[in-house]
Each structure stands twice: as C-alpha cells, then as structure tokens.
Amino acid sequence: MFEGLKDKLNRFSEDASEDIEVEEDEAAEVEDGDGESVDSDTEERIADETDGDTVEDEAVETESETTDQAVAAETDESTSDAEEEPAAEDEDDGRSLTERAKLFATGKTVIDEDDLESHLHDLEFGLLGSDVELEVTEEILDGVEENLVGETRRRLSSTGDMVRDALRESLYDVISVGQFDFDERIQEADKPVVIIFTGVNGVGKTTTIAKLSHYFEQQGLSSVLANGDTFRAGANEQLEKHADNLGTKIISHEQGSDPAAVIYDAVEYAKANDIDVVLGDTAGRLHTDDGLMDQLSKIDRVIDPDMTVFVDESVAGQDAVNRAREFNNAASIDGTILTKADADTQGGAAISISHVTGKPILFLGTGQDYDDLERFEPEEIVDSLLG
C-alpha cells in the first residue's frame, strides 16, 4: 500500500540527510574536540571568513609562535575574542563556522536552506507525481522547511532521524485534520446512530456499508441496513446479498421510492427493536446532479443523520480529492472512507483529502472480505510511509 509514495519520501530523507551530515562534519572539524586547536585547513577558512578581523590577526600570530605554551595561550585568546565579538556570518545561513562548531559541541546542529533546496524540489515533484494535491504538497514542504531550516534542534541518534522526524511531523499535520475517535463517538451517541453514505457510482460504497455492519458487530453493536439507493436497478439485490451473508436486517422499498422514506422506516425499525446503528445507502451521484443532491438535502431534513460519510476509491487519486472537496461543499460530510487502498501505490488521496475538506479519513478498505476494513490512524499511517 502506497509503495511509490514510500519510496519517494524515504529517498528525500536519505538524500537530505547526506548533505546535513557534511554540515556536521565541517562543524566537528572546527571544534576538533574540547576546545583544542583546529586543523590548518579549517583555521585558514575561519581566517578568510572574518575578513581580517581579530580572529585572522591572531591566527597569523599563532603561526609565528614556536613554543607549545605560546600556541595554547594564543588559541585561548582567540576563543575569548571570538566570544566577545560577533562572529562573521557565513554566506549560507548567517552563522560562522566557529558558531556552528559551538552548536555541534553542545549537541545541536543547524540546517542550511541551501542544503535542502534541491531536495525539497525533488520532494515536491515526488509528491505531485503521487497525486498529492498541490496545496497539500506546498503545506508539507513548508512544514519540513519550518522544522529544519535555521532552527537549532537537539540532535537525535543520527541526522537521518532528524530529517525523518521533520517530515513525519509535517505529514502528520496534513493528514490528521479533523480527527476524532470514531468508536467513542458511536458508543456514546444516543441510539440508534444514523450514518448516511454518499459518493459516486462504482467506488465500493455498498460493500463498505456491509463491512461497517460487520465491524460494528465485532464492537458489540447491532445494525440495520437501509437501501436508500432506489434509483439504480439491482442496488437492492446487491445490499440484500450482503445482509444475508451477515445475518443482518435490511429495509427496502421498490425502485423509484423516496430514499428519505426508506431510511426513515429503517430508523423506526431500529428504535422498535433496540438496534444500535442504521446504515443508509444512497444512490451514486455527482455533485452536479441537482436532483440527487436534493435527495440528500431531504434526507438531512427528515432524518437528521448523526454522520454523513463520503466514500471513494483511494486509487482515484486526485479525482477522489476533487470529488471529496465538491461533495463537502455541496452537502457537508463528516468524514471519508477510501476503498481499494491495498491497490493504491500513490497514496495521494489518503494524504490530501483530510486537508482539503477539513474532515477526517475514517477507514481504509484493504480487500474484498468483510474484515478488510482498517481504521485510519494518522500516526500509524505516517510511520508506515516512513518505514
């Protein structure tokens, strides 16, 4: 799942870490232990940076000394003067090599923007190539840059961990938008809980409803299915087959009936029989189908569902993201379920939908069996993406 995206994210972490390791190596050479004298190449670079200031003058004097005592004294004096006077700025990030050396010695390191620029550019193309929405891609890049550039951060066990941690935080920020504890909300809500499912045709909406019925049964909750898809021929037969397999009650009317009436009857049945959850199917539609969108509005008025869930295919990528945005604008959704996530190598929809709708992804469909429905846990998803 999302293998292509995983490769691109980990390639960024590895490549960026290599440049950061070079930066740390330079700082280590400047420090060269606990205040000991620096090597001649690094000493010459420090002298060049300060453009003839006190550090350069004293470096020249140090070279002319012939005794170990004079060398030690001159080095101490150079260190003292460097602390008293502002160090000359390096062209990259405004910090001299000596300042970087001090940061390194105290267990900190500094990431230069120039170190990351080309890598961020590659990451941008990688994310866009994985169908991550443009706005979300920019958010991720900004997050990585904010976490690394110009900041002093306590070094982790390796520089690779540092870059990975910054990327992890940025990814988590964009996919955890609107998250809530789905199980807790269902358990604590007044019964019956009414959940309406919407989306376009052919994305696995009806099968997802059956999977959720099975999921609730495992949680100790009973459910009833309502066939509100009275528009499509064969929809009732499909849902009835799932109900038979699961041993679950289904409420349906003849084709062409009012979907709101079907779901209303299912709610009344649930109340009369102490059923915990009503799962209402609706006809597949586009947000531009005015008549079908009016049906959703009527269901909202008549039923006042506890939750409206948008269902689409993870493999649809950018199309799924656009549809989620449009459905949310036309008839506000409470969350998304993505089907066929097991067949999705890109992961763009999973990364983008929460951010563009402001509503969470609730579940991922990962196969054809009723058990193939996984809770969408942002932290676990990010850890999986970054290995």
Name the band, by pLDDT with cuts 50, 70 and 90, for residue 20.
low
Nearest to 232 by CA among 252, 261, 209: 252
Highest mean pLDDT of the ranges 33-42, 143-152, 267-276: 267-276
Return the number of other C-beta atoms located less than 10 Å from residue 242's C-beta.
Answer: 20
Name the band, by pLDDT with cuts 50, 70 and 90, for residue 300.
confident
Verify that 153 and 217 share a domain, yes or no.
Answer: no
CATH of the domain at 68: 1.20.120.140
Within-domain flag for 386: no
**Cβ(218)–Cβ(296) under 8 Å?**
no
Place of tokens 């550090």: 55
Verify that 162 and 248 share a domain, yes or no.
Answer: no
Mean pLDDT of the region 159-169 = 75
Verify that 333 and 316 share a domain, yes or no.
Answer: yes
Phi, psi of 67 (to 5 degrees): -110, 150
Q: Among 119, 153, 175, identify where a domain stops.
A: 175
Q: Kindly give, in sequence order, each residue whose CB lies less than 8 Å from that of residue 151, ignoring residues fewer than 6 positions away.
A: 110, 111
Instruction: Give the pLDDT confidence of 69-128 residue by residue, as tens digits.
Output: 544 445 455 444 444 444 444 444 445 545 555 444 444 455 666 667 888 889 999 999
Verify that 169 and 27 share a domain, yes or no.
Answer: yes
Can you give the pLDDT at residue 228? Answer: 86
Verify that 319 and 253 share a domain, yes or no.
Answer: yes
> What dihedral do alpha carbons 369, 375, 380, 384 form, nearest 10°?
30
Place of tokens 């989620």: 324
Name the band, by pLDDT with cuts 50, 70 and 90, for residue 150.
low
> What dihedral do alpha carbons 160, 161, 162, 167 form, nearest 10°?
90
Strands 335-339 and 361-365: parallel
Verify that 40 and 161 share a domain, yes or no.
Answer: yes
Verify that 320 and 293 share a domain, yes or no.
Answer: yes
**Cβ(312)–Cβ(323) under 8 Å?**
yes
Distances (CA, A) of 336 to 320, 359, 361: 10, 7, 5
Distances (CA, A) of 300 to 2, 96, 155, 295, 303: 35, 63, 53, 9, 6
Can you give the pLDDT at residue 92? Answer: 44
Verify that 98 and 61 share a domain, yes or no.
Answer: yes
Calpha distance 127→312 (Å, rounded): 20
Instruction: Give the pLDDT confidence of 57-70 residue by residue, as tens digits.
Output: 444 444 444 445 54
Q: Among 130, 146, 175, identify where a domain stops.
A: 175
Domain that holds residue 217: 182-377
Q: How many domains are there within the chain?
A: 2
Give me the DSSP letters along 89-157.
PPTTTS--HHHHHHHHHTTEEEB-HHHHHHHHHHHHHHHHHTT--HHHHHHHHHHHHHHHBT-EEE--S
Give me the DSSP letters along 215-259.
HHHHTT--EEEEEE--SSTTHHHHHHHHHHHHT-EEE---TT--H
Can you give the pLDDT at residue 148? Answer: 77
Verify that 159 and 238 share a domain, yes or no.
Answer: no
Nearest to 187 by CA among 164, 216, 163: 216
Say whether pLDDT at 311 is over 70.
yes
Verify that 162 and 216 share a domain, yes or no.
Answer: no
Q: Kindly give, in sequence order, each residue whose CB lies less than 8 Å from that of residue 139, ignoring residues fewer than 6 positions away.
A: 170, 173, 174, 355
Verify that 9 and 32 share a domain, yes or no.
Answer: yes
